[in-house]
Amino acid sequence: MTSIIVAIDEHNAIGRKGGLLCHLPQDMQHFKALTTGHTIVMGRTTYLSFPRRPLPNRRHVVLTRDTEWHEDGILVAHTRQEAEALLNDKEENFIIGGGQIYKEWLPKADKLYVTRIHHVFEDADTFFPTLDLTHWQTVKQTEYKADEKNPYDLRFIEYTKRTI
């Protein structure tokens, strides 16, 4: 199974200046809980944006067109098809971004984990594709109120692909 996990603002923004929109420990915890022990797929830009890499206890597949690039402990794919061949077909695989990768993989995904950040980041420069909700069904939603560590209200939403 292929799942996308993403944090999106009210205008579908996901990043700015090569990094995340903001620091949200609650969302980080959610991301860690879901992805630990699984395969995660990402573009090279997202991989290189991690302050510490690789992320512990996850099998990394990094997409790049650079055939010279490699890094210890990382599986490298040069096309989506190569990345697909590296997925674990017995369990959930997570597509973790960024913008280019989400756009290419959204039509292939079975499930979406969306964290909706209730804010608009005016200087955002990277966006998630517009979600066509005729294709996606909400199966779970939980709200999280802003607190001293998380500056914005959040909504954690799980969608599965509609079968018809």
Ligand X SMILES: NC(=O)c1ccc[n+]([C@@H]2O[C@H](COP(=O)([O-])OP(=O)(O)OC[C@H]3O[C@@H](n4cnc5c(N)ncnc54)[C@H](OP(=O)(O)O)[C@@H]3O)[C@@H](O)[C@H]2O)c1
Binding site for ligand X (CB under 6 A): 6-7, 14-15, 18-20, 42-46, 49, 63-66, 78-80, 96-101, 104, 126
- Which H or E run includes 100? helix 99-105
In whole angstroms, give the CA distance from residue 119 to residue 9.
6
Report, in Å, the least distance between residue 58 CB and ligand X: 14
Residue 2 or residue 64: which is nearer to ligand X going by CB? 64
Residue 42 or residue 109: which is nearer to ligand X going by CB? 42
In whole angstroms, give the CA distance from residue 24 to residue 28.
6
- Residue 32 burial (CB count, 10 A): 13
Residue pair 10/65 in contact by the 8 Å Cβ criterion: no
Residue 81 or residue 134: which is nearer to ligand X going by CB? 81
Report, in Å, the least distance between residue 98 CB and ligand X: 2
Report, in Å, the least distance between residue 116 CB and ligand X: 11
